[in-house]
């Protein structure tokens, strides 16, 4: 089977092209490292696989996600390399192309965003450029699918499996470097392919390559050759070895472009630049972002999300419940079965499903931020603020992703180069309010803060960010002390996202919530109902004598100073560790059981507005869900940091909820 490896710089449209060429759909976003591990999809013509590798600027990795590409090339043998480049940024993109040519597999170049290049006044002679580089070049527009069929056919024809062989390309790096390359090649075993490529990557400081070569050559010899070459280059050129290699490649690229690229008109201020003058203004940047988030919550709660949720609630707890009840009565179902389905499944799972429209609306807007190009601007705007607390703007990207779900947010921290900054980001991302918490907010703001829903929810999201920044400052004194920070992020041009892309991206994010409701929350709701249905005295006991009451009573006294010291809230918090959505399903079972007033009406008997806000703050900050804890353990590879993330979050949640509740009482709220 043919294996095509998809490579390229970030923001070249690589993942969009992957989606066009395969039957699969993968996450699309406009920032470095959106593909944080290799993805595999079956080609549309069923003739092979397409492997989507992380977006990188060089094969010498700075971060974990960049290392995936180098490790793949070291350990695998792809049939062909499909190199995606941005036609409007050829000079920068072709540095990676040269490294791929030196690797020694057939290469096809996908010249993407040719429409953007034309708008910028660049006239590219594709045939001449292909002749200069010596490989097939296919112009494409990945977002619309233009040229994708031709690219796929060219790639299949050019692949190594089709009988076309490709030798590693040799570019002249000057006598000093060529001598060092020859010495390194002589040290390597004959069975190693791409020996020249390995030698060059070693001289560039590629750590994965160094680790591989240490298996065959004495590390002392490798280090001696590197040091000697570095010394000679500095003596003759006065620059670092890696910079010298880059300069030689830049000269090669300049030669190619002089023969094949012409500017047809003067450069004008682009729309992206005009928008950036506002959204990236040092005074307006953060207010614009907050205004955008406020608009997000107005759409989610006031204008679209809540009306749809109310309609779904009426359907589930009216039509569906009544018809299920009538069917069970006519079928002569036992009271136990009827109680399980009506009070366990419909009250539990249904209590979560009613918030699906609001959650999908939030995911739709997050997808819009990602695909429009605004995500990178947010990171840049936040960089100054984050720099003051020991992080950089790139750390805010995982946090924004965490607004949708903390799990991919934490995984996105792989794009951060500095290990200690990456650790800080992993520890702090769970403080971002994920969509699972949104179901809890929706319940409480719709009940207690109907006129200010968007403002209340915005305050919770902002609180999560503020607490994260404060803790980043505290943790950076010890965890990231004296570590140099690096912030490099590319500004993609603004684009109007295609509805097809937005809808698919929203569905990919949101279907996990629906799947969880149909499986995990379904099972959890039945178990929770069983705990509320049974007790030490047997089955069908009053809720106040159930096992659920016993469990909730364990922590309810501890929660008393926070304003929600009833056992019902305690039980919901305990089950919420499994998944934050289960908090709502637990409440649906507990609070709605003794009354016909519905969940919203029932919780008004147990909470005041101040107590409700204190409870939402605690939900925002207390222990991450089980899936998040698992990914923290996986990403940090440390039980110590995993336990730390759970314990510190619980302590912080308690302190802040206590302060808010007590301050509210002093100010006369109730």
Does residue 107 lie in a domain region?
A: yes
Distance CA 443, CA 422 (A): 34
* Range 242-271 average pLDDT: 84
Round the average pLDDT of the chain to a whole number and report it.
Answer: 84
Q: Binning pLDDT at 50, 70 and 90, where does residue 102 land?
A: very high
Q: Binning pLDDT at 50, 70 and 90, where does residue 87 land?
A: very high
pTM above 0.75, yes or no: no
52 & 200 share domain: no
157 & 180 share domain: no
Does residue 125 lie in a domain region?
A: yes
Tokens standing for residue 574: 């305990």
Dump pLDDT digits (tens) for 316-344: 777 888 888 888 888 887 777 887 777 76
Dump pLDDT digits (tens) for 451-470: 888 899 999 999 999 999 99
| pLDDT of 591 strictly over 80 | no
Helix (H), strand (E) at residue 6:
strand 2-8
Q: Residue holding tokens 């590390």?
A: 219
Does residue 345 lie in a domain region?
A: yes
Which has more confidence, 308 or 521? Answer: 308
289 & 238 share domain: no
Of the listed ranges 84-98, 99-113, 597-611, 643-657, the least confidently predicted one is 597-611
114 & 197 share domain: no
Say if CB 356 and CB 316 are below 8 A apart. no
The predicted structure's pLDDT at residue 258: 92
Alpha helices in 485-541 (DSSP H): 499-518, 520-533
The predicted structure's pLDDT at residue 518: 63
Q: Strand 48-52 vs strand 122-124: parallel, antiparallel, or unpaired?
A: unpaired
Which has more confidence, 503 or 161? Answer: 503
Give the residues across from 122 on adjacent strands: 263
* Range 273-284 average pLDDT: 86
553 & 475 share domain: yes
CATH code for the domain in which residue 54 is found: 3.40.50.300
**Other beta carbons less than 10 A from residue 343's beta carbon:** 18
Distance CA 468, CA 472 (A): 6
Counting Cα atoms < 13 Å in the Cβ hemisphere of 163 gives 0
Alpha-carbon distance values, 93 to 9, 118, 262 (Å) = 6, 17, 17
| pLDDT of 135 strictly over 90 | yes
* Range 107-125 average pLDDT: 89
**Residues sharing a CB contact under 8 Å with residue 351, sequence separation 6 or more, in sequence order:** 443, 584, 585, 587, 588, 592, 599
Which has more confidence, 578 or 610? Answer: 610
The predicted structure's pLDDT at residue 27: 47
| pLDDT of 43 strictly over 90 | no
| DSSP-assigned letter for residue 315 | I
Tokens standing for residue 88: 């409007």
473 & 602 share domain: yes
Does residue 494 lie in a domain region?
A: no
| pLDDT of 484 strictly over 60 | no
| pLDDT of 483 strictly over 60 | no
What 3-state class would DSSP assign to 259?
helix
Does residue 39 lie in a domain region?
A: yes
The predicted structure's pLDDT at residue 482: 53
Q: Strand 39-42 vs strand 80-86: parallel, antiparallel, or unpaired?
A: unpaired
Distance CA 406, CA 397 (A): 12
Length of the chain: 670
What 3-state class would DSSP assign to 191?
coil
Dump pLDDT digits (tens) for 366-423: 888 877 888 888 888 888 888 888 787 778 888 888 888 888 788 878 777 778 888 9
Dump pLDDT digits (tens) for 183-208: 998 888 877 778 899 999 999 888 88
136 & 244 share domain: no
CATH code for the domain in which residue 179 is found: 1.10.287.1770
Q: Binning pLDDT at 50, 70 and 90, where does residue 132 land?
A: very high
| DSSP-assigned letter for residue 76 | -
224 & 296 share domain: no
Domain boundary among 162, 189, 219: 162
The predicted structure's pLDDT at residue 161: 59
Distance CA 536, CA 544 (A): 12
| pLDDT of 248 strictly over 90 | yes
Q: Binning pLDDT at 50, 70 and 90, where does residue 655 land?
A: very high
311 & 416 share domain: yes
Does residue 272 lie in a domain region?
A: no
Domain boundary among 162, 195, 214: 162
Alpha-carbon distance values, 192 to 41, 196, 197, 211, 596 (Å) = 29, 10, 11, 14, 75
658 & 522 share domain: yes
Which has more confidence, 289 or 599? Answer: 289
Does residue 501 lie in a domain region?
A: no
Domain boundary among 138, 162, 186: 162
Counting Cα atoms < 13 Å in the Cβ hemisphere of 110 gives 36
| Burial class of residue 276 in the structure, from the number of CB atoms within 10 Å of its CB (0-12 exposed, 13-18 middle, 19+ buried) | middle
**Residues sharing a CB contact under 8 Å with residue 469, sequence separation 6 or more, in sequence order:** 385, 386, 389
Does residue 633 lie in a domain region?
A: yes
156 & 182 share domain: no
Of the listed ranges 20-34, 408-422, 433-447, the least confidently predicted one is 20-34
| Nearest residue to 551 (alpha-carbon basis) of 581, 520, 589, 608 | 589
| Nearest residue to 532 (alpha-carbon basis) of 524, 522, 542 | 542
| pLDDT of 28 strictly over 50 | no
Count of domains forming the chain:
3
- What is the torsion angle, in degrees rounded to the nearest 10, for the CA atoms of residue 632, residue 634, residue 636 and residue 640? 70
The predicted structure's pLDDT at residue 31: 39
Distance CA 275, CA 74 (A): 42
| pLDDT of 160 strictly over 90 | no
* Range 346-357 average pLDDT: 72
- Describe the crossing of helices 175-187 and 241-260 by its angle, rounded to 10 degrees: 110
427 & 570 share domain: yes
Which has more confidence, 282 or 667? Answer: 667
The predicted structure's pLDDT at residue 517: 62
Domain containing 30: what range? 2-162
Which has more confidence, 143 or 352? Answer: 143
């Amino acid at each position: 089977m043919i294996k095509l490896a998809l490579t390229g710089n970030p923001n070249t449209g690589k993942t969009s092209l992957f989606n066009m060429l395969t039957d699969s759909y993968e996450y699309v976003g406009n920032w470095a490292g959106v593909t944080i591990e290799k993805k595999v999809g079956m080609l549309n013509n069923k003739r092979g696989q397409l492997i989507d590798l992380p977006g990188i600027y060089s094969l010498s990795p700075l971060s974990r996600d960049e290392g995936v590409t180098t490790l793949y090339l070291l350990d695998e043998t792809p049939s062909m390399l499909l190199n995606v480049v941005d036609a409007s940024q050829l000079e920068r993109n072709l540095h990676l192309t040269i490294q791929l040519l030196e690797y020694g597999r057939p290469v096809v170049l996908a010249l993407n965003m040719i429409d953007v290049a034309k708008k910028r006044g660049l006239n590219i002679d594709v045939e001449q450029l292909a002749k200069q580089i010596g490989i097939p070049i296919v112009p494409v527009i990945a977002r619309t699918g233009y040229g994708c069929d031709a690219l796929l056919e060219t790639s299949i024809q050019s692949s190594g499996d089709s009988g076309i062989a490709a030798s590693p390309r040799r570019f002249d790096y000057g006598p000093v470097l060529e001598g060092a390359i020859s010495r390194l090649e002589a040290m390597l075993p004959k069975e190693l392919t791409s020996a020249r490529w390995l030698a060059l990557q070693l001289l560039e400081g590629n750590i994965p390559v160094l680790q591989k070569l240490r298996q065959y050559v004495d590390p002392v010899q490798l280090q001696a050759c590197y040091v000697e070459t570095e010394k000679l280059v500095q003596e003759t050129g006065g620059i670092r070895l890696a910079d010298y290699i880059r300069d030689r490649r830049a000269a090669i690229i300049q030669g190619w472009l002089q023969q094949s690229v012409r500017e047809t008109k003067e450069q004008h201020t682009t729309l992206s630049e005009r928008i950036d003058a506002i959204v990236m203004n040092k005074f307006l940047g953060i207010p614009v972002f907050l205004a955008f988030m406020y608009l997000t919550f107005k759409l989610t709660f006031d204008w679209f999300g809540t009306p749809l949720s109310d309609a779904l609630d009426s359907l589930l707890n009216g039509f569906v419940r009544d018809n299920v009840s009538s069917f069970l009565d006519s079928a002569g179902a036992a009271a136990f079965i009827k109680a399980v389905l009506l009070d366990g499944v419909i009250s539990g799972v249904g209590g979560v499903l009613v918030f699906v429209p609001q959650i999908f609306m939030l995911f739709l807007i997050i997808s819009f931020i990602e695909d429009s190009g605004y995500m990178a601007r947010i990171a840049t705007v936040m960089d100054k603020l984050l720099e003051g607390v020991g992080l950089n703007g790139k750390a805010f990207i995982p946090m924004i992703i965490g607004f949708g779900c903390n799990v991919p947010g934490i995984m996105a921290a792989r794009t951060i180069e500095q290990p200690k900054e990456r650790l800080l980001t992993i520890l702090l991302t769970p403080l971002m309010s994920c969509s699972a918490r949104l179901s809890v907010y929706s319940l409480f703001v719709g009940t207690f803060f109907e006129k200010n829903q968007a403002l209340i929810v915005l305050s919770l999201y902002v609180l999560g960010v503020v607490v994260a920044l404060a803790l980043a400052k505290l943790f950076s004194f010890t965890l990231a002390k004296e570590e140099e920070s690096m912030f490099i992020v590319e500004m993609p041009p603004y684009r109007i996202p295609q509805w097809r892309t937005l809808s698919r991206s929203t569905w990919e994010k949101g279907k996990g919530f629906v799947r969880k409701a149909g499986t995990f929350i379904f099972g959890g709701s039945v178990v929770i109902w069983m705990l509320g249905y049974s007790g030490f005295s047997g089955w069908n006991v009053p809720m106040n004598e159930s096992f659920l009451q016993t469990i909730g009573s364990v922590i309810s006294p501890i929660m008393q100073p926070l304003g929600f010291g009833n056992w019902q809230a305690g039980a919901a918090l305990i089950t919420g560790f499994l998944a934050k959505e289960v908090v709502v399903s637990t409440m649906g079972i507990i609070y709605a059981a003794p009354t016909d007033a519905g969940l919203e009406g029932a919780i008004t008997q147990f909470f005041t507005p101040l107590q409700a806000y204190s409870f939402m703050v605690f939900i925002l900050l207390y222990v991450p869900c089980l899936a998040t804890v698992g990914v923290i353990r996986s990403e940090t590879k440390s039980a110590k940091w995993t336990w730390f993330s759970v314990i510190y979050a619980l302590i912080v949640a308690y302190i802040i909820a206590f302060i808010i509740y007590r301050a509210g009482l002093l100010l006369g709220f109730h």
